[in-house]
Structure 1
Amino acid sequence: MNDIVNYFSTIPSLHRGLILVGGIAIFWMIENAFPLFRFNYKKWNHAGINIFFTLTTIVVNFILAFILLLASEWALKNNFGVLEWLPELPLWLYTLIGLLLLDLIGAYLAHLVQHKTRWLWHFHLIHHTDTWVDTTTANRHHPGESVVRFVFTAAAVLITGAPMWLAFLYQSLSVVFSQFNHANLSLPEKLDRYISYIIVSPNMHKVHHHYVLPYTDSNYGNIFSIWDRLFGTFLTLPKENIIYGVDTHMQPSENNRLSNLVAIPFQKHRSPQTVPEEKI
C-alpha cells in the first residue's frame, strides 16, 4: 500500500498518459475478441472522432491541473475535508473511503447534475450521441464538459481533503474503469451481474446509453455502483433491448460528424421522449 502512495505521489505526466492510452489499447483488443454487439461501422473512423475529444480532455486537464494541487494543498494545510476530520485509520481503509467520496462527488454527482441541468446537458449530450458505444466512447466529452467535470473533481478533492497521491490514484482508476464499462465487451451474464454489485460493469453502464428516458437518466456511476443503488438511480435492461444513442440526435449527420458535435451545445434545445419501462 505504501508503494502505491509513493508512486502516485510522484507519478509523471507521461505515466498518466500511458495509463489512458494503455487502457484504450487493452480494452480495444479485448472487445474485438469478445464483442457484446457486432457493429457495422468503420471502427477507425469512429475512434478518430472520440480520440479528438480525448485529446481536448487531456488539454483541459493539463491546463487546469494546478487547481487540483491548490485545492489539495489548502485542504491539508488547513485540516479541512472529510478525510482530515476522521480518526486515524489503516491506510487501506483511508484510501477506500477517499476513493468512494471522490467517486461520489467527482463522478456520480457531476454526472447527475449534467443530466438534470439543461445547459450542462447540452455539453454532455455529445457523449450520449454515440450510436456505437465502445471503449473509445469513454473519453467522448465536449471540451466544455471536460471543464465542468474538472470543476467537480476539484471540489471533490477540496471537500474530501484528499492528498494529491489519492487524487491522482482516483483519476487513474476513473479513466480505466470508464474505459472498461464503456467497452463493447461481452462478459458472462452472471459475472457481469456479480461485478455490478460492487463496481460499474459493462452491462450496467450500457443501460445508461439506451436512447430514451428513463434509461438515459440512470446508472450514473463510474467506479462504484453503490451510489446508484443507494440513491435509487439504478435500472436494468436486457442487453438485447438496448439501442445506443439519444433519441433527439439519431441521424448520422448529427451524431457522427465532428463539426456538428462541437456545435451541439449551442444549438436549440430538443426535448427527449420518455418511454414507460414496461414498454421496453
Structure 2
Amino acid sequence: MNEIITYFATIPSSHRSLILVGGITFFWLIENGFPLFNLSYKKWQHAGINFFMTFTTIAINFALAFILLETSNWTIANNFGLLQWLPKMPAWLYALVGLLLLDFVGAYLVHFIEHKVKFLWRFHLIHHTDTWIDTTSGNRHHPGESVIRFVFTTFGVLIIGCPIWLVFMYQTISVISTQFTHANIALPEKLDAFLSCFLVSPNMHKVHHHYKLPYTDSNYGNIFSIWDRLFGTFMYLPKQEIVYGIDTYRSPEEHNRLGKLLKIPFEKPRLTENNQKA
C-alpha cells in the first residue's frame, strides 16, 4: 500500500494522460466488438465533439490544479477535515473511506444538485443531449460544468481533509469508471447486476441517460453505487427500453453540433410535458 501511496503522490502528468487515452482506446475497442446497442452514427464525428469537451475539461482542471493542491496541503498542515479527525486506521481502509467520501461530494452530490438547480442544469444538460452514448460521452461536459465540478471537488477535499495522493487516486479511478460506465458494451446481465450492488455498472448508468423523467433523475453515482441506494435515487430500467438523449433537444442539428451545444446554457429554457427542466 505504501508503494501505491508513493506512486499517486508523485504521479507524472504523462501517466495521467496515458491512463485517460489508454482507457478510452481500450473501451472503444471493446464496444466495437461487443456493443450493447448497434448505434447508427458517425462515430468519429461524434467523438470529435466529445473529445473537444474532454480537452476543455483537462485544460480547466490543469489551470486550476494549484487551488486543489494548496487546499489539500492546507488540510494536512492544519489537521483539518473528516479524515484527519477519524481514529487512526490501516492505510487501505483510510484510502477506501477517503474514496467513498470524495465520490459522494465530488460526484454524487454535485450531480444531484445539478439536476435540481435550474441554473446548473443548463450546463449539465449538454451531457444529457448525447443520443449515442459511448465511452467518449463520459467527459462530454460544457466548460461551465467543468468549473462547477472543480469547485465541488475542491470543497470535498477541504471538508474531507484529503492528502494529494488520495485526490490523484480518486481522479484516476473516477476517469476509468466514467469511461467504463458510458462505454457501449454488453456485459452479462447477472454480472452487471452484481457489480451494481457495489459499483456503478454500465447498465445502471445507462438508465440515467434515458430521455424521460423520472429515470433522468436517478443513478447519479460515479464510482460507488452505495450513495444511490442509500438516498433512494437508484432506479432500474430494462436496457431494451432505454432511449438516450433528452426530450428538449432531440434534433441532431442541436445535440450533434459543437457550436450549438456551447450556446445552450445561455438560451431560453425549454419545458416539455415529459421533462420539466430548464
TM-score band (shorter)? over 0.9
Q: Give the match for residue 270 of structure 1.
A: 270
The one-character-per-residue Cα deviations of 1:202-255 (angstroms, maximum 9, x if unpaired) are 000000000011000000000000000000000000000000000000001110
Code of the residue aligned with 2:207 in structure 1: it is V
Long gaps (5+) in structure 2: none
Residues 152/19 of structure 1: CA separation in 2 closer, same or farther (3 Å cut): same
TM-score using structure 1 length: 0.97
Residue number in structure 2 paired with 1:219? 219
Measured in 1, the distance between the counterparts of 2:271 and 2:178 equals 27
Deviation at 1:141, TM superposition (A): 0.3
- Name the structure 1 match of 2:251: 251
Give the match for residue 152 of structure 1: 152
| Segments ≥4 residues shifted beyond 3 Å | 272-275
Q: How many residues align?
A: 275
Change (3 A) 1:203 1:76: same
Q: What amino acid is the match of 1:269?
A: P
Residues 85-124 of structure 1 mapped to structure 2, 5 A cutoff: 85-124=85-124
Residue 54 in structure 1 maps to residue 51 in structure 2: no
Verify the 8 A CA contact 2:129 2:246 in the aligned structure 1: yes
CA contact (8 A) 2:219 2:234 kept: yes
Output the TM-score relative to the length of structure 2: 0.98
Query: How do residues 179-198 of structure 1 correspond to structure 2 at under 5 angstroms?
Result: 179-198=179-198
SS in 1 for 2:269: coil
- In 1, are the aligned partners of 2:247 and 2:274 still within 8 Å (CA)? no
Matches of 1:83 and 1:149, distance apart in 2: 21
State the distance in 1 between where 2:110 and 2:272 align: 20
**2 CA distance for matches of 1:210 and 1:160?**
33
* Aligned-pair CA distance for 1:78: 1.1
Amino acid paired to 1:81? G
Q: Give the C-alpha shift of residue 272 in structure 1.
A: 4.3
1:235 corresponding residue in structure 2: 235
Match for residue 5 of structure 1? 5
> Residue 200 of structure 2 aligns with which residue?
200
Shift of residue 270, structure 1, vs aligned partner: 1.2
In structure 1, stretches of 5+ residues that fail to align are 276-280
Q: Between the two proteins, what is the percent identity of the paired residues?
A: 67
Distance 1:273 1:3, change over 3 A: farther
Q: 1:272 to 1:87 in 2, by over 3 A?
A: farther
Give the letter for the 2:3 counterpart: D
Distance 2:26 2:273 in 1: 36
- 8 A contact 1:135–1:179 mirrored in 2: yes
Aligned Cα root-mean-square deviation (Å): 0.8
Amino acid at match of 1:160: I
**Residues 272/165 of structure 1: CA separation in 2 closer, same or farther (3 Å cut):** farther
Query: How much has 1:271 moved relative to structure 2?
Result: 2.1
